[in-house]
Every structure is written in C-alpha cells, then in structure tokens.
Structure 1
Amino acid sequence: MSKLTILGGGGFRVPLVYGALLGPDSPITSVSLYDISAPRLAAISRVLMAQAADSPDAPDISVTTDLSEALSGADFVFSAIRVHGLAGRVIDERVALAEGVLGQETVGAGGVAYGLRTLPVAEAIARRIALVAPSAWVINFTNPAGMVTEAMAAHLGDRVIGICDSPSALGRRVMRALGVSGARLSYAGLNHLGWLSGVHVDGVDLLPRLLASDEALSSFEEGRLFGADRLRSLSAVPNEYLHYYYETPEVVRAELGATETRGEFLLRQQDECYAALASRTADPLATWNAALRQRDATYMALEGLGERDDAEGGGYEAVALALMMAIASDSPTDLILNVRNRGTLDILDDDAVVEVPCRVDGSGAHPYPGAILPAHGIELVKRIKSTDRAVVSAAASGSRAVAVRAMACHPLVDSVPVARRLIAEYQRQLPELAYLH
C-alpha cells in the first residue's frame, strides 16, 4: 500500500498524473487530493472518477482541504500549487509587459514575482511535511521549479526532488530526429535553462550528425524554434525556454501585440472548463480532454511555433511515475531531475539545485558526475542562480530592498529603476507580497 498526496489537487493537469497511475506497474494504491478550493477539488475528482471507471485496480481517491490530513501516511507527495492561481500569472505577465519586459511565468520579471509569492507557501508546506510525513518523498513541480525545490530542500534535504517535462521531451524529440532510442543524454543547467550537448549511443556522440542535417533539425520543435545556424554555433540544443533569452525583443513585441497573454488564454479556458464540470451536464472526461488538447496545441504559439499537431502533451506525469517507481521498487532508472549539485557543476556550490541526468533508486536521486555545461552558458547560469538566491533571501527576510535587487539582477530586467517599479506594482496587485517591507 502506497499513498500519493497531490498538493494543488484541484489543478487542471492533475488527471494527467492520475492517468499515469492506472497502469499495472504503478506503485500507488491511494491518492489524496489537497487544495484550498473545494469546488475545484470536486470538479477534478469527477474527472478522476471517470478515468478510474474502467480500471478495477485504480488507486482510491480522497479529497480534503486539510493539509495535515492530506499528508498523514503519505509515501509520496506531489507538489503542484499555484499561489494566486492563474489570475496571478496574468498579473505577472501584464505588469512586466507594461514596463516593456518579459512577463513569462518562470522567466524574467514574471518568474521573480511568481517566486516571491510562492516561496513562503512552499517553505511552510515543506515544514509541515517534515513534521507530519518525514519519510515521504516529495516530487516538486511547483514553479519556478528549481528555485522552489532549493528552498524546500533547506527543510527536507535530498527527499525533495524537482521535475520538469522539458528536458525529457527534448531528449525524446532529438532521439526521434536521429532515428535512435535509449541514448545516453548529456544535459546540464538549471530548470528552464539547460542545454543538450551530447547524444551517446555505443560510446559515439550522434549530436554532430544531427547538427549537420538541415532535414533532421527542421523535423523537431527546438530545431525550428532556434534554427540550424544558431544550433550549429552553439554546438548544443537548448531547452525551449532559452528562446526567451536569445530572442528577447522579438518575444516581447509578439506578446505586446497579442490580443491576450498565455495566462489570459489559460484562465479563460480553465474557467470555462471548471464551469462545465461543475454543471454536471457534460461528460467530465470528454470536457477535460477537449480543454487539454486545445491547451497543448497552442503551447508556445506566441514564440513562433503556431498551433502544433505534434504536441508532446504534459510529459511530466511520466517523469513523476518513473521517479516513484524507481524509488518504491529500488529499480535503478536514469532521469533528468532538479537535485542538489553535489559537485556536479563546478561553477556552483553543492547545495545549489541544478537540472542534470541522475540515477534514481530506492535511496533517491543521485546526479551523475561530470555534467557538461557549454562554455557559452556558464555566465547566464551563474547570473540566474544569483537571482534565484536573492529571491529566496527576500522571501526569508521579507526585505523589499532584496526583492528589488533580485528583480534588477535578472538579465531580462537589468535595471534598478524598472525593478523598483515592478516590485511596487506587483505588491499593489498581489496581496501575497504584503510581507515585503
């Protein structure tokens, strides 16, 4: 018997996680959904029950708005909270764009604002887990994932592991473009800031073959997003989020010219979906599936990919399941995860959370030594880690001055006057930031 607690259990993507648990090899027998919103819990639990209808061994489902009740007896805790909901994401985006800077939810000004209001909640949750379920393994998907995982690790140590779908999806697409499977990937960086620098099969690196082929590069998302010339100049394939750094003016112009931000689209779409689920007149699973397909098809549309018919879907649910199975069964598995550095990248200290290939077994996640960070990415990684650390410090101290420093430190803001105005406006619109003085 293994219990999984999902924090943010009323979230739109929770059915992806539950669906991954319906296979015969799942180690989970019961799922507890926790959320501060009872109506959202009710809506999503309807979707999960529909998913479970044809699966006689589906994990039992319980719902609660009591955090200690949800955590009691948990073997695994999946954290996917969103402080101030999607309305907060809209504020992140619009306040930044009003200053002419990027407001993406994990990158730039929006990511700093998201971290400032999320870290106090995430740390409170980590302290509660340490008290109520000290033996539980915590899988963090709460964004900004690297920053939040590092803050939670101060209370939970190596029992908190951050996950993201982007690196594994990048690896799948690259291997498909090369016509291979089971390759050993060289990948290193921070969450939403990493580079794939090697694809090894039988001791041979196939990445040069990929970079030499226009046809292969045009066959997958990152190849089209960055273009062959840039990828060849980098001698690596960046995580898709590097687009925000490499093409900042173009992205900001596109977002300023759009009729709605990504957050506004998702807020409108999810409000419609939850309203339909609450009405009990629509098929819950069909309603949710239709909304998910639209969400996936329009992912990164503003970044120049347009509506996609090759969307990978979430992907993070498969990473979460593989992680839980490796720990529960002590079956070694290789995954790209957010973990403490432990000397893996020599430019960062041991406690810095990095995103690197790991071997996972019953004792947790262990980063492989010698991860390669491309030389052109070193200074950017160091600066973003400094920004993350300043956000963590601001959240711990409640210092508005440190929050301004964190905002100004980010290379996509890079201005103290702009940083002051951003923090002031975020405080005005986000009550969760009232703690900054």
Structure 2
Amino acid sequence: MKLTILGGGGFRVPLVYGALLGDHAEGRVTRVVLHDLDAGRLSAVTRVLAEQAAGVADAPEVSATTDLDEALTGADFVFSAIRVGGLEGRANDEKVALDEGVLGQETVGAGGIAYGLRTVPVAEDIARRVARVAPDAWVINFTNPAGLVTEAMSRHLGDRVIGICDSPVGLGRRIARVLGANPGEAWIDYVGLNHLGWVRGLRVNGRDELPRLLADPDLLGSFEEGKLFGTDWLQSLGAIPNEYLHYYYFNREAVRAYSEAEKTRGAFLRDQQAGFYDEMKRPDADALTAWDRTRAEREATYMAEARETAGAGERDADDLSGGYEKVALALMRAIARDERTTLILNVQNRGTLSVLDSEAVIEVPCLVDANGAHPVTVDPLPDHASGLVCSVKAVEREVLAAADSGSRTTAVKAFALHPLVDSVNVARRLVDGYTSVHPGLAYLK
C-alpha cells in the first residue's frame, strides 16, 4: 500500500513514519513517498527516517520527489501536511495581527484567516490533482486551518477527504486519565469545529463520568484544561472546551501575552527548525538525535503563552508525545482493512449539527469503516456554543468565497466578521498588512 505525504520535508513527518514502523499487520503501508517543494528539507527528513528504520526488517520503503503528479500517482492514501508560506509566513501572520492589537495565532482569528486565504487555493489545486491522477485515493488532511482546508478540498473530493487533529484526542485522553478510565474504551461526546469544540460527556460502560469530574474542583484542576480555563469557568460551562477556546474566552489576556513574549510561537519555531535543517546539512550529523532533541523542545513549549497567562505551569509528560500520527494510522487501518473504529474527525456535517448545512465540515465522533468516516448523531449544542460555531463557520465561508473570487472586499468581510477582530477598519488594515508581506495573497484585488 502506497502512502504519499505532501509536505514531506516537514518537521513532524518522522512521527507519521514512526507510527508506520510499528504496524506489521497484513495490508499495512509498504511504500512512503515524500513530496515537498524544498529538496533540502526532503533530504533532511529522509535521513531521519532512514535512521528510524534501522534494524526494522519490514520498514516501509521511502522515496522523495518534488514532482506532485509523480508523488500522487498510484497512491492509496495521501497525507496532506503542507505549510504555504512556511514558518516565515506564520511569523508574519502573528506580527501583522499583533501590530493591530488582535490575535495572530495560526488557526484562530486574524492569523487563521490569513493562513487560510493563502492555503485554500493551493489545497484546492492539490484536490483537483488527486481527483485526476489518484481518483481512488483517500486524502487525510492535517494542513491547517484543518477544518477550513478540509472543506475546501471536499468540494472536489467529497467524502474522500477527511481532516484530522490531535487536540480532541489529547483532550479525551486527559479527561479519561484523571477519571481513571481507559481512553480506548471511553465514548467521548465531542462536537464543534476544528479548534472550536467541547467535550460534553465521557461515557464508560454506558455511564457518563463527566459530571463526577465537574463536581470535583480538585480533580478538575489537576489537568491541562482545568489549569487553562479555571475550575469555576468549566463548571459554569458544564463542559470541557478544546484548549484553543482559551483564545476566545481569555482573548485580552492572550493578546497581551503574545505581545509581551520575547518571540511569538511562529518566530520561535521558524528559528528553532532552521537550526535543525542547517544541522542536517552536515554529512556527519546524527539526524535522529537532532530531530528528537528539537521535537522535545517544540512540544514542551506548545501553547506556552496561554499556559503562562493561566498560571498552568509546564505541560505534563504524558502530553508531550503528539497524537495526530496515531489518528492517521488508525484511520488508514479502518479504511484499508475495514477495521471498524470510532475517531473524532473533520467531516462533512450531513445533518449532524442542525445549525449548519450538510456540506459544512465539522469535528465530531465518526464511525469509520472501509467506506470512510460517518459522523455520529449528536445532541444540539447550547446557544453560546452554537452562536460561536455559526459565527466562525460564516467566516470560513467568506474565506472560501474570497479564494474563489479573488475579491479583496470579501477578504475584508471575512476578517471583519470574526469574533476576535473588533473593527471593520482593523479588518481593512489587516488585509493591507497581510497582502504586503505574503506573495501568496497577490491574487486578492
């Protein structure tokens, strides 16, 4: 079975390959093709993968190419993890937003809109290419903003594109852990959009254990989200939000923390990863050791500004191991082998959330089998959550419309309608700022 990884020179690709190395069952991935526009990054990551595979007799064969059609042809699965504009683009997303006093996080608010505007045209081109040269392939999208990009690709691929994210997985795992439950045996009632969802229940043997957690302040305050949001606020909500909702519920504090930070997250990762790729230019460099060291630092500093604002302290060791690669592997296994399972995924709504139309991509538990991912019917969201979901989905639709039309006016509308952008004039200046630093937005007229 052939897996093509788009963004194959990306820093987190070894996580995916590491998961594949642990799969020895019949029907597993036997060939991995890395595709990237940067041959130097491809070479660096290929070296890491070679060291990972040392001593593994049945390790999937790895090849690399800068030719997209070559990479896609014959693929059974396509894993999309591209970053249009690179980490320099992410750093610029943050700076332009902070200069206007609004959040520039890569998937939330102004930064997420800017990232989406330059990514959607590229993602749609990829989707059209997949439909043409690999029509039977399943696309697993991890490219951010994951929900928006998955919806853009679904307009060309339908249900054959499925978005994944490790945030709901990590949240469910943490809740199960503090409740003393096995995460693999718990049903997690989670619903929303990517980076905008809530756990409303965690059932073990048919019993919802979440009320027990919400009623115990000590237990509730013992894990990441309890520290981020505070026990009183979680008890008020009656649910556990995705960690990214911290940027909505504590926006003023988040903007201040980003503004006061020595470096934004994007700038930190840009510089840190540049050091890794520079080190890989040395033939004698220990590739896997260098990658492991860089990854550990990356994971430990994840959402550092938000945790500092909340006084949440360091991340727990159990939360430093990633997770999206395990979701990707479980998804591929379920489809390729008809190993039926339940995963929280980004898929078309199909009537699951009544407040959104059928084609809207949402993040929700899905039953997965050989025919793909099927969203599970969920209870309606409370009004406060429905309002936020509908508002952000409306913004995503304006981003798609701007990408389709090349309309600068529509792009301004997308920024202005977002809950975290507080002025139409700010929205206009954001579009001016982003188009001045991003060549990928030159299409906006």
TM-score (norm 1): 0.98
Distance (whole Å) between structure 1 residues aligned to residue 359 and residue 255 of structure 2: 34
- Structure 1 residue 277 displacement after superposition: 1.3
* 1:315-330 → structure 2 map (5 Å cutoff): 315-330=323-338
Identify the match of residue 301 of structure 1 among 298, 301, 304.
Answer: 304
- Is contact 1:186-1:372 (8 Å) kept? no
Identity level (%): 64
Matched, 1:212 2:215: yes
- Is contact 1:300-1:306 (8 Å) kept? no
Hey, what does 1:42 align to over in structure 2?
A: 43
- Structure 1 residue 218 displacement after superposition: 2.0
* 1:10-49 → structure 2 map (5 Å cutoff): 10-23=9-22, 24-25=24-25, 27-49=28-50
What secondary structure, in the 3-state scheme, does the structure 2 residue paired with 1:414 have? Answer: coil
Hey, what does 1:118 align to over in structure 2?
A: 119
Distance (whole Å) between structure 1 residues aligned to residue 86 and residue 380 of structure 2: 36
Hey, what does 1:361 align to over in structure 2?
A: 369
* 1:396-407 → structure 2 map (5 Å cutoff): 396-407=404-415
Deviates more, 1:220-229 or 1:304-313: 304-313
CA deviation string 1:224-273 (max 9, x = no partner): 11111000000000000000000000011111111100001101100001
- Structure 1 residue 372 displacement after superposition: 4.2
- Is contact 1:197-1:372 (8 Å) kept? no
Paired AA for residue 315 in structure 2: R
Paired AA for residue 418 in structure 1: V
Distance (whole Å) between structure 2 residues aligned to residue 36 and residue 212 of structure 1: 51
CA deviation string 1:70-104 (max 9, x = no partner): 00100000000000100000000000000000000
- Structure 1 residue 306 displacement after superposition: 4.2
What secondary structure, in the 3-state scheme, does the structure 1 residue paired with 2:202 have? Answer: strand
* 1:20-419 → structure 2 map (5 Å cutoff): 20-23=19-22, 24-25=24-25, 27-181=28-182, 182-304=185-307, 305-310=312-317, 311-419=319-427
Distance (whole Å) between structure 2 residues aligned to residue 261 and residue 238 of structure 1: 24
- Is contact 1:187-1:372 (8 Å) kept? no
Distance (whole Å) between structure 1 residues aligned to residue 63 and residue 285 of structure 2: 22
CA deviation string 1:188-232 (max 9, x = no partner): 000000000001122211101001112211221111111110000
Which 4+ stretches in 1 moved above 6 angstroms? none
- Structure 1 residue 371 displacement after superposition: 4.3
- Structure 1 residue 314 displacement after superposition: 1.9
What secondary structure, in the 3-state scheme, does the structure 1 residue paired with 2:280 have? Answer: helix
- Is contact 2:224-2:315 (8 Å) kept? no
- Structure 1 residue 407 displacement after superposition: 0.5
Gaps of 5+ in 1: none
What secondary structure, in the 3-state scheme, does the structure 2 residue paired with 1:93 have? Answer: helix
Distance (whole Å) between structure 1 residues aligned to residue 315 and residue 375 of structure 2: 33
Paired AA for residue 324 in structure 2: Y
- Is contact 2:296-2:320 (8 Å) kept? no
TM-score (norm 2): 0.97
CA deviation string 1:13-69 (max 9, x = no partner): 000000000012372000000000000000000000000112111100010000000
- Is contact 1:191-1:354 (8 Å) kept? yes
Gaps of 5+ in 2: none
What secondary structure, in the 3-state scheme, does the structure 2 residue paired with 1:278 have? Answer: coil
- Is contact 1:20-1:318 (8 Å) kept? yes
Distance (whole Å) between structure 2 residues aligned to residue 77 and residue 54 of structure 1: 26
Report the count of equivalent residues: 436
Distance (whole Å) between structure 2 residues aligned to residue 271 and residue 222 of structure 1: 31
Paired AA for residue 4 in structure 1: L
Distance (whole Å) between structure 1 residues aligned to residue 210 and residue 380 of structure 2: 14
- Alpha-carbon RMSD: 0.9
Paired AA for residue 297 in structure 1: A
- Is contact 2:349-2:358 (8 Å) kept? yes
Paired AA for residue 221 in structure 2: S
What secondary structure, in the 3-state scheme, does the structure 1 residue paired with 2:63 have? Answer: strand
Deviates more, 1:213-222 or 1:65-74: 213-222
- Is contact 1:20-1:317 (8 Å) kept? yes
Paired AA for residue 411 in structure 1: P
- Structure 1 residue 120 displacement after superposition: 0.4
- Structure 1 residue 382 displacement after superposition: 0.2
- Is contact 1:146-1:191 (8 Å) kept? yes
- Structure 1 residue 353 displacement after superposition: 0.2
